[in-house]
Amino acid sequence: MKKNTLIVGNWKMQISLKKGRELAQELESALAAEDAEVVVCPPFTHLSSIKTHLRKIKLGAQDLFWEEAGAYTGEISPLTLREIGCSYVIIGHSERRQYLAETDKMANQKVKAALAHSLKPILCVGESKSEREHNQTLEIVEKQLNLALEGVSDFAELIIAYEPIWAVGSGETPDPSDANNIARYLKQVIEKKYPKQNKESVRILYGGSVNGKNVHSFVSQEDLSGVLVGGESVDSDEFIKIIKNLM
Protein backbone atom coordinates (compact mmCIF):
# COMPACT_ATOMS: atom_id res chain seq x y z
CA MET A 1 0.00 0.00 0.00
CA LYS A 2 1.19 3.50 -0.85
CA LYS A 3 2.43 5.49 2.14
CA ASN A 4 -0.27 7.45 4.03
CA THR A 5 -3.15 5.85 2.12
CA LEU A 6 -6.47 6.58 3.81
CA ILE A 7 -9.70 4.66 3.18
CA VAL A 8 -12.88 6.25 4.52
CA GLY A 9 -16.26 4.51 4.57
CA ASN A 10 -19.26 6.84 4.68
CA TRP A 11 -22.20 4.71 5.83
CA LYS A 12 -24.64 7.58 5.19
CA MET A 13 -28.17 6.57 6.33
CA GLN A 14 -27.94 3.13 4.78
CA ILE A 15 -27.51 0.71 7.67
CA SER A 16 -29.30 -0.24 10.89
CA LEU A 17 -27.50 -0.30 14.22
CA LYS A 18 -27.64 -4.10 14.33
CA LYS A 19 -26.16 -4.40 10.84
CA GLY A 20 -23.63 -1.71 11.69
CA ARG A 21 -22.35 -3.67 14.68
CA GLU A 22 -22.04 -6.80 12.54
CA LEU A 23 -20.22 -4.85 9.82
CA ALA A 24 -17.76 -3.33 12.31
CA GLN A 25 -16.97 -6.78 13.72
CA GLU A 26 -16.49 -8.26 10.24
CA LEU A 27 -14.17 -5.43 9.20
CA GLU A 28 -12.08 -5.66 12.36
CA SER A 29 -11.72 -9.43 11.95
CA ALA A 30 -10.79 -9.23 8.27
CA LEU A 31 -8.32 -6.37 8.69
CA ALA A 32 -6.62 -7.43 11.94
CA ALA A 33 -3.42 -8.40 10.16
CA GLU A 34 -3.53 -5.65 7.51
CA ASP A 35 -1.51 -2.45 7.62
CA ALA A 36 -4.26 -0.11 6.49
CA GLU A 37 -5.54 3.24 7.76
CA VAL A 38 -9.31 2.81 7.66
CA VAL A 39 -12.06 5.09 8.97
CA VAL A 40 -15.78 4.33 9.20
CA CYS A 41 -18.39 7.08 9.51
CA PRO A 42 -21.69 5.69 10.86
CA PRO A 43 -24.86 7.73 11.51
CA PHE A 44 -24.76 9.80 14.72
CA THR A 45 -27.07 7.39 16.55
CA HIS A 46 -24.68 4.49 15.92
CA LEU A 47 -21.39 6.14 16.90
CA SER A 48 -21.11 5.13 20.55
CA SER A 49 -22.13 1.53 19.93
CA ILE A 50 -19.91 1.08 16.87
CA LYS A 51 -16.95 2.54 18.77
CA THR A 52 -17.05 -0.40 21.22
CA HIS A 53 -16.39 -2.80 18.33
CA LEU A 54 -13.44 -0.90 16.84
CA ARG A 55 -9.82 -1.55 17.71
CA LYS A 56 -7.73 -0.89 14.63
CA ILE A 57 -10.29 0.99 12.57
CA LYS A 58 -10.84 4.68 13.38
CA LEU A 59 -14.21 6.32 13.99
CA GLY A 60 -15.44 9.32 12.04
CA ALA A 61 -18.66 11.35 11.91
CA GLN A 62 -20.66 12.37 8.86
CA ASP A 63 -21.07 15.99 9.98
CA LEU A 64 -20.87 18.32 12.98
CA PHE A 65 -22.16 21.68 14.16
CA TRP A 66 -19.74 24.52 14.83
CA GLU A 67 -20.92 25.47 18.34
CA GLU A 68 -19.88 23.56 21.46
CA ALA A 69 -23.38 23.69 22.97
CA GLY A 70 -26.69 25.48 22.61
CA ALA A 71 -30.26 25.35 21.35
CA TYR A 72 -29.48 23.69 18.02
CA THR A 73 -32.08 20.95 17.66
CA GLY A 74 -30.88 17.91 15.76
CA GLU A 75 -27.22 18.97 15.63
CA ILE A 76 -24.13 17.44 17.24
CA SER A 77 -21.19 19.34 18.70
CA PRO A 78 -17.47 18.72 18.18
CA LEU A 79 -17.15 18.16 21.94
CA THR A 80 -19.66 15.32 21.78
CA LEU A 81 -17.87 13.73 18.84
CA ARG A 82 -14.56 13.85 20.69
CA GLU A 83 -16.17 12.42 23.83
CA ILE A 84 -17.59 9.51 21.82
CA GLY A 85 -14.16 8.81 20.35
CA CYS A 86 -14.30 10.25 16.84
CA SER A 87 -11.02 11.20 15.19
CA TYR A 88 -12.36 12.34 11.81
CA VAL A 89 -15.39 14.22 10.49
CA ILE A 90 -16.76 14.65 6.97
CA ILE A 91 -17.56 18.26 6.08
CA GLY A 92 -19.41 19.69 3.08
CA HIS A 93 -20.49 16.41 1.51
CA SER A 94 -22.27 17.01 -1.80
CA GLU A 95 -25.48 15.42 -0.50
CA ARG A 96 -25.62 17.94 2.35
CA ARG A 97 -24.92 20.77 -0.08
CA GLN A 98 -27.60 19.49 -2.47
CA TYR A 99 -30.39 18.38 -0.12
CA LEU A 100 -29.77 20.37 3.07
CA ALA A 101 -28.63 23.71 1.63
CA GLU A 102 -25.18 23.52 3.20
CA THR A 103 -23.06 26.46 2.08
CA ASP A 104 -19.35 27.12 1.79
CA LYS A 105 -19.66 29.49 4.77
CA MET A 106 -21.14 26.69 6.87
CA ALA A 107 -18.37 24.36 5.73
CA ASN A 108 -15.87 27.00 6.84
CA GLN A 109 -17.39 27.21 10.31
CA LYS A 110 -17.36 23.43 10.58
CA VAL A 111 -13.72 23.14 9.47
CA LYS A 112 -12.71 25.68 12.13
CA ALA A 113 -14.70 23.83 14.80
CA ALA A 114 -13.19 20.49 13.83
CA LEU A 115 -9.63 21.81 13.92
CA ALA A 116 -10.24 23.59 17.24
CA HIS A 117 -11.28 20.27 18.79
CA SER A 118 -8.56 18.07 17.27
CA LEU A 119 -10.89 16.39 14.79
CA LYS A 120 -9.41 15.72 11.36
CA PRO A 121 -11.68 17.35 8.77
CA ILE A 122 -12.43 15.52 5.53
CA LEU A 123 -13.53 18.46 3.39
CA CYS A 124 -15.51 17.51 0.28
CA VAL A 125 -15.28 19.58 -2.90
CA GLY A 126 -16.53 18.83 -6.39
CA GLU A 127 -18.32 20.07 -9.47
CA SER A 128 -21.72 19.31 -11.00
CA LYS A 129 -22.16 17.69 -14.41
CA SER A 130 -23.04 21.05 -15.95
CA GLU A 131 -20.00 22.75 -14.41
CA ARG A 132 -17.78 19.99 -15.74
CA GLU A 133 -19.26 20.26 -19.23
CA HIS A 134 -18.55 24.00 -19.16
CA ASN A 135 -14.91 23.42 -18.10
CA GLN A 136 -15.46 25.05 -14.71
CA THR A 137 -14.15 22.22 -12.53
CA LEU A 138 -10.92 23.88 -11.38
CA GLU A 139 -12.66 27.18 -10.75
CA ILE A 140 -15.38 25.51 -8.67
CA VAL A 141 -13.13 23.33 -6.50
CA GLU A 142 -10.70 26.19 -5.88
CA LYS A 143 -13.55 28.46 -4.80
CA GLN A 144 -14.99 25.79 -2.49
CA LEU A 145 -11.57 25.14 -0.98
CA ASN A 146 -10.68 28.79 -0.42
CA LEU A 147 -14.05 29.63 1.13
CA ALA A 148 -13.94 26.58 3.42
CA LEU A 149 -10.45 27.53 4.62
CA GLU A 150 -11.07 31.26 5.02
CA GLY A 151 -9.60 32.42 8.32
CA VAL A 152 -7.79 29.12 8.92
CA SER A 153 -4.17 30.04 9.61
CA ASP A 154 -2.73 26.55 9.95
CA PHE A 155 -3.68 22.96 10.69
CA ALA A 156 -2.15 19.76 11.98
CA GLU A 157 -3.81 17.67 9.29
CA LEU A 158 -6.27 18.36 6.50
CA ILE A 159 -7.95 15.87 4.18
CA ILE A 160 -9.64 17.00 0.98
CA ALA A 161 -12.01 14.63 -0.80
CA TYR A 162 -12.44 15.44 -4.48
CA GLU A 163 -15.97 14.21 -5.00
CA PRO A 164 -17.57 15.16 -8.33
CA ILE A 165 -21.29 15.51 -7.67
CA TRP A 166 -22.21 13.70 -10.88
CA ALA A 167 -20.20 10.63 -9.84
CA VAL A 168 -21.77 10.14 -6.39
CA GLY A 169 -23.93 7.02 -6.46
CA SER A 170 -24.21 7.13 -10.26
CA GLY A 171 -21.75 4.43 -11.26
CA GLU A 172 -19.91 7.03 -13.35
CA THR A 173 -16.37 8.15 -12.55
CA PRO A 174 -13.86 10.54 -14.08
CA ASP A 175 -10.76 9.14 -15.70
CA PRO A 176 -8.30 8.50 -12.83
CA SER A 177 -5.73 10.74 -14.52
CA ASP A 178 -8.27 13.59 -14.58
CA ALA A 179 -8.96 13.09 -10.87
CA ASN A 180 -5.21 13.15 -10.26
CA ASN A 181 -4.83 16.43 -12.16
CA ILE A 182 -7.50 17.99 -9.96
CA ALA A 183 -5.81 16.61 -6.84
CA ARG A 184 -2.53 18.15 -8.00
CA TYR A 185 -4.24 21.47 -8.59
CA LEU A 186 -5.79 21.40 -5.11
CA LYS A 187 -2.36 20.76 -3.61
CA GLN A 188 -0.97 23.73 -5.52
CA VAL A 189 -3.76 25.96 -4.21
CA ILE A 190 -3.04 24.85 -0.64
CA GLU A 191 0.74 25.24 -1.04
CA LYS A 192 0.23 28.79 -2.30
CA LYS A 193 -2.13 29.59 0.58
CA TYR A 194 0.04 27.89 3.23
CA PRO A 195 3.66 28.06 2.01
CA LYS A 196 5.06 27.05 5.41
CA GLN A 197 2.72 24.10 5.90
CA ASN A 198 4.22 20.61 5.86
CA LYS A 199 3.12 19.09 2.54
CA GLU A 200 2.52 15.72 4.19
CA SER A 201 -0.14 17.29 6.43
CA VAL A 202 -2.50 17.43 3.42
CA ARG A 203 -4.00 14.39 1.75
CA ILE A 204 -6.32 14.33 -1.25
CA LEU A 205 -8.85 11.52 -1.59
CA TYR A 206 -11.11 10.59 -4.48
CA GLY A 207 -14.81 9.95 -3.84
CA GLY A 208 -17.66 8.95 -6.15
CA SER A 209 -18.72 5.42 -7.23
CA VAL A 210 -15.57 3.82 -5.79
CA ASN A 211 -15.56 0.01 -5.90
CA GLY A 212 -13.18 -2.93 -5.71
CA LYS A 213 -12.55 -2.87 -9.45
CA ASN A 214 -11.61 0.78 -9.88
CA VAL A 215 -10.06 1.71 -6.52
CA HIS A 216 -6.48 0.81 -7.44
CA SER A 217 -6.60 2.91 -10.61
CA PHE A 218 -7.36 5.98 -8.48
CA VAL A 219 -5.06 5.42 -5.52
CA SER A 220 -2.14 4.48 -7.78
CA GLN A 221 -2.19 8.07 -9.06
CA GLU A 222 0.67 10.19 -7.75
CA ASP A 223 -1.38 12.92 -6.06
CA LEU A 224 -4.23 10.83 -4.66
CA SER A 225 -3.77 9.42 -1.17
CA GLY A 226 -6.91 7.37 -0.72
CA VAL A 227 -10.65 7.14 -1.26
CA LEU A 228 -13.95 8.19 0.27
CA VAL A 229 -16.29 5.24 -0.25
CA GLY A 230 -20.08 5.56 -0.06
CA GLY A 231 -22.54 2.76 -0.79
CA GLU A 232 -19.91 0.04 -1.11
CA SER A 233 -18.69 0.73 2.43
CA VAL A 234 -21.79 -0.90 3.97
CA ASP A 235 -21.18 -4.12 2.01
CA SER A 236 -18.55 -5.93 4.07
CA ASP A 237 -17.30 -8.11 1.20
CA GLU A 238 -16.96 -5.18 -1.18
CA PHE A 239 -15.37 -2.82 1.36
CA ILE A 240 -12.85 -5.46 2.40
CA LYS A 241 -12.12 -6.06 -1.28
CA ILE A 242 -11.52 -2.34 -1.78
CA ILE A 243 -9.08 -2.25 1.14
CA LYS A 244 -7.24 -5.44 0.21
CA ASN A 245 -6.91 -4.34 -3.42
CA LEU A 246 -4.75 -1.49 -2.11
CA MET A 247 -2.45 -3.69 -0.04
By annotation, the residues acting in catalysis are 93, 163
* Sign of the Cα pseudo-torsion (209, 215, 220, 199, in order): positive
**Alpha-carbon distance 236 to 155, whole Å?**
33
Q: Answer whether 93's CB lies under 8 Å from 176's CB.
A: no
DSSP 225: -
Q: Is 174 helix (H, G, I), strand (E, B) or coil?
A: coil
- In DSSP notation, 71-122 reads S-TT---HHHHHHHT--EEEES-HHHHHHS---HHHHHHHHHHHHHTT-EEE
Q: Could you tell me if residue 226 is left (phi over 0), alpha (psi between -120 and 50 degrees) or otherwise beta?
A: left
Q: Which residues lie across from 59 on neighbouring strands?
A: 40
